[in-house]
Amino acid sequence: MKLTTGFFASLAISAAGAAAFDVNCNSNYASYYGQNSALNQQALGDYCKDAIEDVIVLAFMDGFPSILLNFANACETTFDGSTLLHCPSMATDIQYCQSQGKAVILSMGGASGAYGFSSDSDGTAFADTVWDMFFKGNATQRPFDDAVLDGIDLDIEGGGATGYAAFINQMRTHYASDTSKSYYITGAPQCPFPDAYLGSTLDSAWFDMVYVQFYNNYCGLNAYPTWFNYGDWDSWAQTTSVNKDVKIFIGAPGSATAAGSGYVDGSTLSTIYNAVRANYTSLGGIMTWD
């Protein structure tokens, strides 16, 4: 979901200074792309023609370990004789976005779909598959051809926790095999703490960024300041997270129609963002949901 430069001016986030993604900043902007909730989704590359976005999260791989991809109208073609999406236009756009200093990450999970692991060994094996298909591997069918993604996001909203920590550990082993670029692990828990589905994985595996969904729950942005609970997530980041430098993003609906509840206008979001920035060093920036 595209936000305007004016919106970022109201947040005191400098679009002009966002040309190259730096995970250590507290003013990054991550946006989910691919679900076309506002029915006006543009080509991926169109969102990389200015300096506003820092991270684009492709949503979703909503089926695994039997892989199903869904990027709405952004990609609707498949490999011959297969249900696996083949997205050459998105591949070109991914490489263009990366050339503009953006990180492009693939999100696994979502609110609907069929996904999950039955064992740690399943999670480990699937990490090998993901590396081969979306990173520096050699799979015969690669949805984004020779484009190499910058990371994996876990937006787990159903099923059990089995296998996810093992998956992350194996992905990080693959990451370490390629020192030519930085790779990331991110997660998107819902704001009630601890998260019902991702909580144990957040406690036991490495995450670089966590995009907390402050919407569709009692602790959403619309409940600020009474029930808004960024402080719980900051405490987790400082005391429990495996990565004590993990960055927490304030997750917001990109429009009034993007979520059932939690949408706030730019002025209100600016107030919340600036209050969090003044009080918590774990802040990574803003995430918007398409």
The pLDDT value recorded for residue 14 is: 47
Q: Is the pLDDT of residue 53 over 90?
A: yes
Q: Write out pLDDT tens, residues 148-203.
A: 999 999 999 999 999 999 999 999 999 999 999 999 999 999 999 999 999 999 99
Q: What angle do CA 223, 217, 165 make, to 5 degrees?
A: 125
Q: Is the pLDDT of residue 11 over 70?
A: no
The pLDDT value recorded for residue 54 is: 97
Bridge partners (DSSP) of residue 153 are: 107, 186
Q: Is the pLDDT of residue 3 over 60?
A: no
Is position 76 annotated as part of the catalytic site? Answer: no
Token pair for 208: 């670089």
The mean pLDDT of the chain is 93
Give the C-alpha separation, 78 to 62, whole Å: 16
Give the C-alpha separation, 172 to 130, whole Å: 12
> Under a CB-based contact definition with an 8 Å cutoff, are residues 165 and 121 in contact?
no
Question: Beta strand pairing status for 28-33 and 55-64?
Answer: parallel
Instruction: Spot the catalytic one: 157, 195, 208, 290.
Output: 157
Instruction: Kindly state the helix (H) or strand (E) to which residue 288 belongs, with its residue range.
Output: strand 283-289
> Under a CB-based contact definition with an 8 Å cutoff, are residues 115 and 157 in contact?
no
φ, ψ dihedrals at 282, nearest 5°? -80, -10
Q: Is residue 18 very low, low, confident or very high in pLDDT (cuts 50, 70, 90)?
A: very low
pTM for this entry: 0.94
